[in-house]
Every structure is written in structure tokens, then in C-alpha cells.
Amino acid sequence: MNQPKNLSKIISLLHKQTKEFVLPIATKIGSEDRSPFKVLISCILSLRTKDTTTGPATERLFKVAKTPTQMLKLSDKRIEKIIYPVSFFRNKTKFIKGACRKILKDFNGKVPKTMEELLTIPGIGRKCGGLTLIYGYNITKSIPVDTHLHRGSNRLGWVKTKMPEKTEQELMKIIPKKHWHDLNNLLVAHGQNICVPVSPFCSKCKINKYCPKIGVKRRR
């Protein structure tokens, strides 16, 4: 399959525009200390939660626990209080503890380096697994897809999909591998600030003229 039209130009423009924005939390943690464990936990916290909430919650949590062993010494109530108000904070506390137990029991306390192993950890799907590999280990073997990348790639006409899992499969067929590492970071930052779910800011978008705006009914 052929790569999307004007892909290199679009990627270049997104790089320029996203410099104006705060980095997505997984990217930020990966760029600061490249800790696979921190990337993994921040990804769990970020599910269905805005980065403006996830970021401070992640910082609070890592101030008191930076390793699986330290995390398991905290009570559920303590973790819940620290990470609140992230969405589903009670369930995420259970996922965090489950992940820590799994890492200690099956992986000698180290976050695994393969997608297959990562998917055995409670609360970890392909998106979190891919982000952990990319920003924790600098290993790029997939394109992590969340709602922002799913929405953006459909609006751009790169894919015509209904679920993020299918979007990942289709994007990996048409996007050259050299772009896989940055694609999630770029489209997440773009989706959080410009290509928002309702009434995207097309007038401010640097890739406006290259985007067919598929499915966009109203824009600013």
C-alpha cells in the first residue's frame, strides 16, 4: 500500500507546531530519565484522563515510590489519595499494584522489553505496551494508537477505521517505519491542542491545507 500523500510535509509541520505544546506525559517522562517503569505507570494513569491531571498525579506518586518494591509498600488508600482525581483511580490503583507484583514475580523487577510480555501485565494493552517500549527503551516495533491518533488519522484520510486496534494495523501498513517513533507523540499533542474532538481549531492548524477534514462537521 502507498504511504499517505504529503506525509513527510505533514510530519515536518506537526514537529514545528507541537514544539509550542506541553509534551504528552509518557513522552515527557521518557525524555527526562527514560525509565520504563515510570512510563508504564504513567500510561496506566493516563487512560481516559487528560494530561493536565495525569502529569501532577504522576509526579506526586513518583515522589514517594519509584520502583515496584517501593510501590507495593504503599497501601491502596495511600495510592488512591495520591493519584486522585485521575479517572477510575481505584481501579488504576489495583492495576498499578498488579503490574508491580507481576514485574517482581515474573520479570525480576524489570519492565519487560517485548510487547508479548508487556501484554501479560494487568492493565496494559497495546497502546501502553508500545509507549513503554518507545519511550522507556527506545524500541519501536509498533505505532501506539490512542483516541487522538485514531481520530486524527481518520480525519486526515490515512485510514477509515472505527477502532484504535484496527487503526494501528492499517497505519503500520502505510506509514514508513522511520515515522513510527514520533507519530503518537505528534498526533496526541496535536489532538489535545488543535484537532480536538468537537470543533477543531482548523484556522490555527499548520496542516490545514493538507487535511480533507473527514467527518468534521464544525470547525473553528
HSE-up of residue 188 (Cα within 13 Å, Cβ side): 23
Helix residue ranges, H only, the chain? 7-18, 25-33, 36-46, 51-64, 68-72, 76-83, 89-106, 115-118, 126-137, 147-155, 164-174, 180-193
Grid coordinates standing for 206?
A: 499548520
pTM: 0.89
pLDDT score recorded for residue 79: 98
Q: Give the domains, in start order, of the chain with CATH numbers.
A: 7-22+143-210 (1.10.1670.10), 35-137 (1.10.340.30)
Grid coordinates standing for 28?
A: 515527557
Tens of pLDDT, residues 152-208: 999 999 999 999 999 999 999 999 999 999 999 999 999 999 999 999 999 999 999
Supply φ then ψ for residue 141, to 5 degrees.
-125, 5
Measured CA to CA, the distance from residue 10 to residue 210 in angstroms comes to: 7
Q: What percent of the chain has pLDDT over 90?
A: 85
